[in-house]
Amino acid sequence: MSKQAENLRANTVDELKTQIVDLKKEQFNLRFQRASGELQNTARMRTIRREIARIKTVLGQKLASADA
C-alpha cells in the first residue's frame, strides 16, 4: 500500500470529495493551458489524473465498508 493511499484513508468522506472537486478544477485549468500552449509542466496532468483515481478508490472502499 502506498504512503499516499494511507494518508488519504485518514481523511473523512467529505474531505475526500472536496479534494476531488479541487483536483478536477485544477485539471480543467491545465487542459485550457495545454490548449493555448501555456502549459509548462505537462507531467502535472498525469499526476492529477492518478491522484483523482487514488482518491476515488479510497472513497469507494470507505463507502463499501460503511454499507457492510
How many domains would you assign to the chain? 1
Does a structural domain hold residue 59? yes
Does a structural domain hold residue 13? yes
Domain of residue 8 covers: 3-63
Is the pLDDT score of 4 beyond 70?
yes
Does a structural domain hold residue 27? yes
Distance CA 30, CA 45 (A): 7
Is the pLDDT score of 1 beyond 70?
no
pLDDT band at 54 (very low <50, low <70, confident <90, very high): very high
Other Cβ atoms closer than 10 A to 8: 20
Does a structural domain hold residue 57? yes
Does a structural domain hold residue 68? no
Task: Give DSSP secondary structure letters for 4-15.
Answer: HHHHHHTS-HHH
Does a structural domain hold residue 36? yes
CATH label of the domain that carries residue 23: 1.10.287.310
Helix, strand, coil tally for the chain in percent (to 5) = 80, 0, 20
